[in-house]
A and B are shown apart, each in its own frame.
Chain A
Amino acid sequence: DADVTQTPRNRITKTGKRIMLECSQTKGHDRMYWYRQDPGLGLQLIYYSFDVKDINKGEISDGYSVSRQAQAKFSLSLESAIPNQTALYFCATSVNRDGQPQHFGDGTRLSIL
């Protein structure tokens, strides 16, 4: 089984819909991250969490929200999806002492029509 699992892997939806992307990990890491990848732009940080009670905004948090349900689970929500949120979304984890994202899920490809 993968260390970091993202569901769904692909999603097509319509403008205005609420969408939740889920991430679970078996690494036992405290830090979890949500990134967005757009062609030619690399990865941009949406939200990150140091532990269950500590959630922080990243570079591009507008239009997104998150929930850290447990150490192993970190969900990303789009409250009212818009077409420019079409992208590839990644969840990642790390241990506190390293800081940088270490383990990534395989991504969720999200298309908003």
Chain B
Amino acid sequence: AQSVTQLGSHVSVSEGALVLLRCNYSSSVPPYLFWYVQYPNQGLQLLLKYTSAATLVKGINGFEAEFKKSETSFHLTKPSAHMSDAAEYFCAVSEGGGFKTIFGAGTRLFVKA
């Protein structure tokens, strides 16, 4: 069975600092992996996705994530945080792009001025 664990329900960084949001997955088949962002009072937006091509995936708003099979990880990073990055971020996994996408519990990112 698939599962996703996001380490840290809350992460706080200073503006301009590195953003690192951690995600570990479990899957019995090669996974498809995703990161979504949710701003207050809005639905989720797809930030980026990994579908077995390049292991370093670039997304919108300067975010990127690296698929590491040996560590079963798909951590999200951004070199320099902006105030506008404050939101909740969800990691998700699915089996081969199928209908069932499993979401992690989310990590809320706070950005301090």
Decide if B44 touches A90 in the complex (CB within 8 Å): yes
Question: Inside 8 A of B99's CB, which chain A residues have their CB?
Answer: 31, 48, 50, 56, 99
Partner-binding segment picked from A69-77, A79-87, A100-108: A100-108
Q: Can you name 29 A-B pairs with beta carbons within 8 Å? A: A4-B43, A31-B99, A41-B105, A42-B103, A43-B44, A43-B90, A44-B103, A50-B99, A56-B99, A90-B43, A90-B44, A98-B97, A99-B32, A99-B97, A99-B98, A99-B101, A100-B34, A100-B46, A100-B92, A100-B94, A100-B101, A103-B43, A104-B42, A104-B44, A104-B45, A106-B41, A106-B42, A107-B41, A107-B43
A40-B105, A42-B104 are known contacts. Are A106 and B43 too (CB-CB below 8 A)? yes
A92 CB within 8 Å of chain B: yes
7 pairs of A and B residues whose beta carbons are closest in the complex: A104-B43, A42-B103, A99-B97, A43-B103, A42-B105, A100-B101, A104-B44
A45 CB within 8 Å of chain B: yes
B-side interface residues toward A, CB under 8 Å? 4, 9, 32, 34, 41-46, 49, 90, 92, 94, 96-101, 103-106
Q: Which residue of B lies closest to A45 (CB)?
A: B100
| Complex-state Cα separation, A103 to B97, whole angstroms | 15
B20: min CB distance to chain A, Å: 19
Decide if B90 touches A101 in the complex (CB within 8 Å): no
| Complex-state Cα separation, A42 to B92, whole angstroms | 9
Question: Inside 8 A of B90's CB, which chain A residues have their CB?
Answer: 42-43
A42-B90, A100-B34, A100-B92 are known contacts. Are A105 and B101 too (CB-CB below 8 A)? no
Q: Which of B34, B97, B106 contacts A42 (CB 8 A)?
A: B106
Interface string of A25-56 (1 = CB under 8 A from B): 00000010000000011111100101000001
Decide if B49 touches A100 in the complex (CB within 8 Å): yes
